[in-house]
Structure 1
Amino acid sequence: MILDARDLPAGQTLTADLCLVGAGAVGIAMALELAGSGLSVILLESGGFGREEDSQALYRGAVTDPARHSPLDRYRERRLGGSTTTWGGRSMPLDPIDFEPRPAIPHSGWPIGPADLAPFYPRANRLVEAGAFAYTAETAFDRTLRPMIPGFASPHFTTNTLERFSCPTDFGRRYRHKLEQAADLRVLLHANVVHIALSDGGERVEALEVRTLQGGAFRVAAGRFVLATGGLETVRLLLASHDRAPAGIGNHHDLVGRFYMCHLAGTIGRLRIDGPPFSAWNGYDIADDGTYCRRRIALRPDVQRELGLGNVIARLHHPRITDPSHRNGALSLLYLARAFIPYEYGKRLHGGEAVGLADRLRHLGNVAGDLPATIGFMLHLLRDRRLAERKFPSIVIRSRANLFSLDFHAEQQPDPASRVTLGHERDALGLPRLVVDWRYGRGDVDTVSRTLALFAVDIAASCVGRFDYDPDQVESEMTRYGAYGGHHIGVARMSDSPRQGVVDRDGRVHGIANLHLAGSAVFPTSSQANPTLTAIALGLRLAHHLRDRAAVPAGTTPAPAPPSSAPPSGVPA
């Protein structure tokens, strides 16, 4: 059932076997997985059914360098469904190499491996509605797909791995009826956790203190607690709850909020592919179930190991739209309409460059001169993106001249100096607001620079075209958008040792018997992959762990469950 915390009598204590905090993708996935398990569950959500500005304002904070990081109330949504209400739907698992300790990647290595997530990835894929859990062209399609770049043969890159796209599925809207119908689940909206109350000895959580913006207050007592509040908000709750733990909960070794990673993304260069018009393929392949899939240019894992590089993928992309010399009416229309494009996509789409009146007139000329194609593009957006239930994922412009830029998405190395801390300013509930000091390092620049150089060599060696770019512009291009998107990773990392991480391999906070964290905050490394699918898979794994151990008192240590030895289907080795 779904209730509103504003309607509850003040001062009461609600009880349950398990309390989940945060009704985004991970929290809702865990709640659905636990429904009917015999456990009573409370799911607390700060917002309501839709966007509410007073709730959203609780996310505001400070950024040490605004050029490197978006405002903290961007990319995060404080409402039922969380950021799935605005996400783009891109889904893919981590690669096996991402779990490995890698000498060239400081602080790398997960305490779990691909086999531990293999049983949960397919269920995560179904929840996000991204079709089958098959992430290579060979496993996802019975037919042979046309090549991305005809004749391209590379010892360093593959072109057969996929990213799949959700509808994109808004978890709040899609699964609301299931949450309402679950008899053993209570979802409380407008319920803001303001404090984690520990026992006198500080070894377990006794209750959560919860408030509404209207002044209501109550407590939730449970056998076990899970924070699934997103990477940044998880840090805030742990650090702000410091009455029993002076440095903050789980922060005995000053690790909460450190190792903050996002992804490094950019669009660079000029790639011309030889061959007949439209012979290169930068579009989407549609699976039999209607799911949009897109192939990428991916750095091989053996090359990563041999050359000491991080994980990188790239896509064939249209030229930067701010330059009217592309002479494409659809691209010019997008530039002229940039004020109407949502922040999350507009920032990446047009790059923020100032364009003078002369260039604006040239953009208008492109639209007028390419009017039939531009009208067709507008109809495509209306039909396939605005009105379709399964939306066309992104702007894809076919090039008659086989002319593209390269859109890359790279792993960021863990760095303890990149961190999230508490500031002095407080929100309407009295919680300290966050201060984000996101940083990147020379290893990140090196990974992108050397990957681009390898790609240029392989394009030339294959005699299929030419990739030109300015090596001196790599760093500025890879940081043009700063910490890319809403990928808040690594701030409460997973480790077998409390000296190296905040949670153990089951997401339990070191030293706290009954407090778990779920989401990308616990990732030790970022991979090249968008984190949503893996965050959900980890949440499902945690849900099974909690369900299977529900009969074991929270202060004891149960025998670990044996990991699955089956490799994840469709994940390239």
Structure 2
Amino acid sequence: MIDDAEMVEDGARLECDLCIVGAGAAGIAIALQFLDTKRRIILLESGRPDFEARTQALYEGEVADPALHPPADSYRQRRFGGSTALWGGRCMPLDPVDLEARHWVPHSGWPIGMEELARWYRAANALCEAGEYQYSAARAVPGGMRSMIAGFDPENFSADGIERFSTPTNFASRYGHRLRASASVRVLLGANCTAIETDAGSGRVEALRVRTLSGRGFLVRAAQVVLALGGLETPRLLLASRLGNAQDQVGRYYMCHIAGTSGRLRLAVPRAMVHPGYERSEDGTYIRRRLQLNAAAQERHEVGNAVARLHFPRIPDPSHGSGVLSGLYLARRLLPYEYRKRLDHDGAGGVRHMLAHLGNVATDPGSAVGFATSMLFRRKLAARKFPSVIVHPPGRVFSLDFHAEQQPNPESRITLGATTDALGMPRLHIDWRHTAGDLRTAEVFFRLLAEDLRRWGRGWLEWDPAELAHDMLRDGAYGGHHIGTARMGRSPRDSVVDAEGRVHGISNLSIAGSATFPTSGQANPTLTIVALALRMAERLKQVG
């Protein structure tokens, strides 16, 4: 059933077998595994199905360097479904190397191996609605996918890996009816967990304090508790409750991804030999190839995992000559924050600049109109949305859309700020930091790709280290990938939870989500979040 916390009696004590705090991808994935059991499950969610400004304001916080990290309340939504309400739907599993302890990546190594994680990926893929669990371009469609660049067989990279795209699936909209119909699961909307209380003698969670924005308050007592709050709110609640931090590990190792568009890739091949965009698998799922630095090259050059996709030239620079790209630039105020921010940071501005963009649109009006019509029907109105803008640039000059793991850094961290929110909880203080190793991964990737293209003889990659560093840090921490702030490990000396997701020293408190990832890998985190959530649900079913 789905209820509103405002209907719970003030001062009430609710009892259950399992309380899940947070109804995003992880929380809903766990709750769905208990629909037909005899367990009593309470799923607490701060928001409601629709966006509410007062609730979203609870996410506001302090950022140490606004040039390197977006505002604390951006790229995530405090509502039923969590940030699946706004995600782009990109799905891909981690690679085996991502879980390994690598001597050249400080603080790397997961306490579980790929064979364990892989057990849950197929079911997670289905729950995310990303089609068949098949991430090889050679096998994703009959006869294999089209080559990204026909004839190019690089030494240091693989072009067989792909990314698949969810509809994208809002977990609340897609699975809310199943939660509503369940007699086992009770969803309470508008319910904010403000404190976790433990019993000093047993070392177990005794109760959760819950408040609504109207001032109503009650307790939830549960045999097992799971925090599924995301990589920022999880350390906030733990720190505010003074839990799990005996070794000062909560909130440390905060990672996102190092990402940006850079370089100028020129290809001396026919247009038909280059395919930068998407294909559709037999079940209708959008899929796309990317170049990935192979594991051997990562080890040989001692860098992190990284991928790149072919991307159109920089939109703000009108020299690209594309009416479509200039139209996007001129309409940038209508775009979502995360896209608008990139265009604002990269534009030269000025009357001459704007006139050049207008000139591109005027000389290429058919492409701009056709693009707008296509996006309306394939993205805005479609049930399975076209994932992103794809433009085949004039002259076959591309940039690279780069995306790489970030090294775990204990000084990159989440702490509590000096101010409080409407519920009286301390707000976040975010101090995201990158390392020299992060930028070196990008430099090595571009250098090796330039060398492989030079050996091939039909492509050239122009790049500059200073420009590359600027491009990778222009937008700072990448989007909503909040990772590593309650990492898993074998010892409380360097982690917050064990290999099963249990908080060290608190036997009935577990954490689900990307906060527990020891490393970020090259992949967007949602698919792995759901896989680990399903693994946790199976373990919780075995608990008496």
Query: TM-score, normalised on structure 2?
Result: 0.99
Alpha-carbon shift at residue 520 of structure 1 (Å): 0.1
Q: Residues 353-364 of structure 1 correspond to what in structure 2 (within 5 A)?
A: 353-364=347-358
Q: Which amino acid aligns with 1:267?
A: T
Q: Which amino acid aligns with 2:432?
A: W
CA offsets 1:258-301 (integer angstroms, 9 cap, x no match): 00000000111110111123421101011000000010000001
Cα distance in 2, alignment partners of residues 519 and 394 from structure 1: 25
Q: Is the 8 A contact 1:80 1:172 kept in 2?
A: yes
Cα distance in 2, alignment partners of residues 400 and 146 from structure 1: 20
Pairing partner for 1:330 from 303, 324, 331: 324
1:231 aligns with 2:225: no
Which piece of structure 1 moves more, 110-119 or 317-326? Answer: 110-119
Cα distance in 2, alignment partners of residues 441 and 101 from structure 1: 18
Which residue of 2 is the match for residue 176 of structure 1? Answer: 176
1:470 aligns with 2:453: no
Q: Is the 8 A contact 2:321 2:394 kept in 1?
A: no
Which residue of 2 is the match for residue 517 of structure 1? Answer: 511
Which residue of 2 is the match for residue 158 of structure 1? Answer: 158
Cα distance in 2, alignment partners of residues 119 and 496 from structure 1: 21
Q: Residues 537-548 of structure 1 correspond to what in structure 2 (within 5 A)?
A: 537-548=531-542
Cα distance in 1, alignment partners of residues 458 and 226 from structure 2: 52
Which residue of 1 is the match for residue 304 of structure 2? Answer: 310
Q: Residues 197-276 of structure 1 correspond to what in structure 2 (within 5 A)?
A: 197-201=197-201, 203-241=203-241, 248-276=242-270
Q: Residues 298-447 of structure 1 correspond to what in structure 2 (within 5 A)?
A: 298-348=292-342, 351-447=345-441
Cα distance in 1, alignment partners of residues 288 and 224 from structure 2: 40
Which residue of 1 is the match for residue 19 of structure 2? Answer: 19
Which residue of 2 is the match for residue 296 of structure 1? Answer: 290
Which residue of 2 is the match for residue 491 of structure 1? Answer: 485
Cα distance in 1, alignment partners of residues 392 and 525 from structure 2: 28
Counterpart secondary structure, 1:137: coil
Alpha-carbon shift at residue 202 of structure 1 (Å): 6.3
Q: Is the 8 A contact 1:277 1:400 kept in 2?
A: no
Alpha-carbon shift at residue 435 of structure 1 (Å): 0.3
Q: Is the 8 A contact 2:160 2:289 kept in 1?
A: yes
Alpha-carbon shift at residue 475 of structure 1 (Å): 1.3
Query: Structure 1 residues 540, 349: closer, same or farther in 2, change over 3 A?
Result: farther
Which residue of 2 is the match for residue 68 of structure 1? Answer: 68
Which residue of 1 is the match for residue 93 of structure 2? Answer: 93
Cα distance in 1, alignment partners of residues 331 and 379 from structure 2: 16
Which residue of 2 is the match for residue 459 of structure 1? Answer: 453
Counterpart secondary structure, 1:404: strand
Q: Which amino acid aligns with 1:76?
A: R
Which piece of structure 1 moves more, 35-44 or 386-395? Answer: 35-44
1:281 aligns with 2:275: yes
Alpha-carbon shift at residue 458 of structure 1 (Å): 0.4
Counterpart secondary structure, 2:273: coil
Cα distance in 1, alignment partners of residues 186 and 499 from structure 2: 28
Cα distance in 2, alignment partners of residues 202 and 485 from structure 1: 40
Unaligned runs of 5+ in 1: 242-247, 552-573
Which residue of 1 is the match for residue 49 of structure 2? Answer: 49
Q: Is the 8 A contact 2:318 2:326 kept in 1?
A: yes
Counterpart secondary structure, 1:44: strand
Which residue of 2 is the match for residue 558 of structure 1? Answer: none
Q: Which amino acid aligns with 1:24?
A: G
1:196 aligns with 2:196: yes
Q: Is the 8 A contact 1:324 1:332 kept in 2?
A: yes
CA offsets 1:305-329 (integer angstroms, 9 cap, x no match): 2221100000000000001111101
Q: Which amino acid aligns with 1:279?
A: M
Cα distance in 1, alignment partners of residues 466 and 11 from structure 2: 61
CA offsets 1:89-109 (integer angstroms, 9 cap, x no match): 011000010000000000000
Cα distance in 2, alignment partners of residues 406 and 469 from structure 1: 10
Which residue of 2 is the match for residue 187 of structure 1? Answer: 187
Cα distance in 2, alignment partners of residues 524 and 406 from structure 1: 27
Q: Is the 8 A contact 2:317 2:347 kept in 1?
A: no
Query: TM-score, normalised on structure 1?
Result: 0.94
Q: Is the 8 A contact 1:120 1:540 kept in 2?
A: yes
Cα distance in 1, alignment partners of residues 468 and 489 from structure 2: 33
Alpha-carbon shift at residue 348 of structure 1 (Å): 3.6
Q: Residues 541-560 of structure 1 correspond to what in structure 2 (within 5 A)?
A: 541-548=535-542, 550-551=543-544
Which residue of 2 is the match for residue 28 of structure 1? Answer: 28
Q: Which amino acid aligns with 2:516?
A: V
CA offsets 1:398-447 (integer angstroms, 9 cap, x no match): 13522100110011000000000001100000000000000001111111
Which residue of 2 is the match for residue 555 of structure 1? Answer: none
Q: Is the 8 A contact 1:277 1:399 kept in 2?
A: no
Counterpart secondary structure, 2:406: coil
Cα distance in 2, alignment partners of residues 37 and 311 from structure 1: 41
Alpha-carbon shift at residue 540 of structure 1 (Å): 0.5
Alpha-carbon shift at residue 357 of structure 1 (Å): 1.2
Cα distance in 2, alignment partners of residues 186 and 294 from structure 1: 39
Cα distance in 2, alignment partners of residues 75 and 400 from structure 1: 32
Q: Is the 8 A contact 1:367 1:374 kept in 2?
A: yes
Counterpart secondary structure, 1:175: helix
Cα distance in 2, alignment partners of residues 512 and 354 from structure 1: 54
Q: Which amino acid aligns with 2:156?
A: H
Cα distance in 2, alignment partners of residues 365 and 202 from structure 1: 72
Alpha-carbon shift at residue 303 of structure 1 (Å): 1.2
Cα distance in 1, alignment partners of residues 247 and 483 from structure 2: 19
CA offsets 1:328-387 (integer angstroms, 9 cap, x no match): 011001001110101123224554434111111111111111011111101111010100
CA offsets 1:120-174 (integer angstroms, 9 cap, x no match): 1111111111101111112312223221112212110011100100111111111
Q: Which amino acid aligns with 1:311?
A: N
Which piece of structure 1 moves more, 148-157 or 404-413? Answer: 148-157
* RMSD (Å), alpha carbons: 1.0
Which piece of structure 1 moves more, 392-401 or 483-492? Answer: 392-401
Identity within the alignment, %: 54
Cα distance in 2, alignment partners of residues 175 and 499 from structure 1: 39
Q: Is the 8 A contact 2:20 2:42 kept in 1?
A: yes
Counterpart secondary structure, 1:526: coil
Which piece of structure 1 moves more, 498-507 or 341-350? Answer: 341-350
Q: Which amino acid aligns with 2:65?
A: D
Counterpart secondary structure, 2:219: strand
Unaligned runs of 5+ in 2: none
Which residue of 2 is the match for residue 556 of structure 1? Answer: none
Which residue of 2 is the match for residue 529 of structure 1? Answer: 523
Cα distance in 2, alignment partners of residues 348 and 35 from structure 1: 42
